[in-house]
Amino acid sequence: MIKKSKSLYALLGILSLGPHSGYEIKKLIEQSLNHFWQEGYGQIYPNLKRLVELDLATVELKKQDGKPDKKVYTITNLGRTHLKNWLLTPIQELPKEKHEILLKLFFGQNVSAEDNIAHVTLYKQRMEEVLEVYAHIETTLQNYDDKQPDTVYQLITVRNGIYHARAALAWCDETIEILKNTPKNQS
Amino acid sequence: MIKKSKSLYALLGILSLGPHSGYEIKKLIEQSLNHFWQEGYGQIYPNLKRLVELDLATVELKKQDGKPDKKVYTITNLGRTHLKNWLLTPIQELPKEKHEILLKLFFGQNVSAEDNIAHVTLYKQRMEEVLEVYAHIETTLQNYDDKQPDTVYQLITVRNGIYHARAALAWCDETIEILKNTPKNQS
DNA sequence: GTAGTATATATCAATAAGATATATATCTTT
DNA sequence: AAAGATATATATCTTATTGATATATACTAC
């Protein structure tokens, strides 16, 4: 166990799939983990250095033609052990959300019902787009003939996104109906 | 508009409900906003100072019998204007979640299916407890005879929590079934 | 009387987020 | 061919946030 920070484990997890540079890791997180995890460069580069200092990864400078040189990080056996230890540790706490639209709605009596309906309508549109993206990823994963062992794990995380998005859409419909029947009480 | 930070608006929103001390605000956020918003003392006290500096709130020292003195903050008219401006601004982005269990499951091929099922089972238990809490709050809100204007807004935020929790539980059931049918592939 | 809890404010260190600086190279448009 | 946008790649800086801790008062329960 290193610390409470899960950033290092996120990086170790990515490196367990293969050697990567910091830039590649950022792209990978944006493409695959974005709906439940985010890391910025300000976290990735210092933490990759730390991984090397802790002997959990090694670095190698790779020269590329037509592109700037890159530093490729490879997980060590010690790194794999640390990752597995963390993967076996029971989850500590439930995810904490910072949900801007709910914060606005909680103080909704300061503005009109119409203004609040507008927020929910916009949120619904965004979530419909998100759901489409997830549905597309799901289809892609299901069409893999070669059932690689990690496909199942990618699938269940995407399925989580789909469940969440559908729940959000149902809540939007209910909320819009409730707010439509709210008497005007502009303060 | 002050900054990108929504902490100040969360504080202004609380103060729009009535004058409060920093300690009271912390308790209020823990009790009412916890499922979609969190603030620590390290945010609350410095930001209350900022609110006063920006003329968005005023302070008053209140002596109490049996309890330490407290500083009561009151929202100003300028503060209400700022709050309303923010409440009328369309939501900027979708909530970003840091979801520990999904991070672990994404790298789940590094351990056994049973280990991953254990995580989901624990998560399901936690979410069942959370759902019960929300359901209780919902009942309390619905039993208010005097339909205060802000009750509706509290209700829709709690309903959001209920939708989320139910979706999480359904996902847990599906995920456990999928993982039960996963061949052993301990790496 | 002393341990624990509640009230109340403040602050520090660690972590995280967001933005920007720097550099190389390609591709597209004028 | 110059200009501008985009992609690759790393690094860093400031601000924001979290989590923990320090300080103090006073009530409650054993």
d(CA A111, CA B151): 14
3-state secondary structure of B57: strand
> Is A107 close to B164, i.e. CB distance below 8 A?
no
Distances (CA, A) of B122 to A37, A53, B39, B54: 20, 34, 26, 46
Collect all residues with Cβ–Cβ distance below 8 Å to A84 and sequence separation of at least 6. Answer: B110, B111
**How far from the centroid of its chain's Cα atoms is residue A59's Cα?**
26
Under the banding of pLDDT at 50, 70 and 90, the label for residue A184 is low
Average pLDDT of the residues in A37-49: 96
What pTM value is reported for the model? 0.92
The pair phi, psi for residue A93, each rounded to 5°, is -145, 165
Of A105, A150, A164, the CB nearest to B109: A150
pLDDT, position A183: 74
> Is A91 close to B100, i.e. CB distance below 8 A?
yes
How many angstroms is C1' of C20 away from CA of A40?
13
pLDDT digits (tens, 9 = 90+) for A88-146: 999 988 888 999 999 999 999 999 999 999 999 999 999 999 999 999 999 999 887 66
Of residues B142 and B159, the one with the higher pLDDT is B159
Collect all residues with Cβ–Cβ distance below 8 Å to A150 and sequence separation of at least 6. Answer: A17, B108, B109
pLDDT digits (tens, 9 = 90+) for B150-186: 899 999 999 999 999 999 999 999 999 999 998 765 4
How many angstroms is C1' of D3 away from CA of B69?
65
Contact B185, B115 (CB under 8 A): no
pLDDT, position A62: 87
Collect all residues with Cβ–Cβ distance below 8 Å to A133 and sequence separation of at least 6. Answer: none
pLDDT digits (tens, 9 = 90+) for A45-86: 999 999 999 999 999 998 877 777 899 999 999 999 999 999
Q: What tokens appear for B6 in the block?
A: 């929504």
* Nucleotide nearest the Cα atom of A96 (by C1'): D18
d(CA A177, CA A174): 5
pLDDT, position A182: 85
Contact B37, B9 (CB under 8 A): no
| Residue A81 forms contact with B (CB below 8 Å) | no
> Is A157 close to B102, i.e. CB distance below 8 A?
yes
The pair phi, psi for residue B147, each rounded to 5°, is -75, 85
d(CA B14, CA A187): 15
pLDDT, position B48: 97
Cβ-Cβ pairs closer than 8 A, A with B, add up to 204
> Is A103 close to B10, i.e. CB distance below 8 A?
yes
Of A36, A92, A179, the CB nearest to B97: A36
The CB density around residue A137, as the number of other CB atoms within 10 Å, is 19
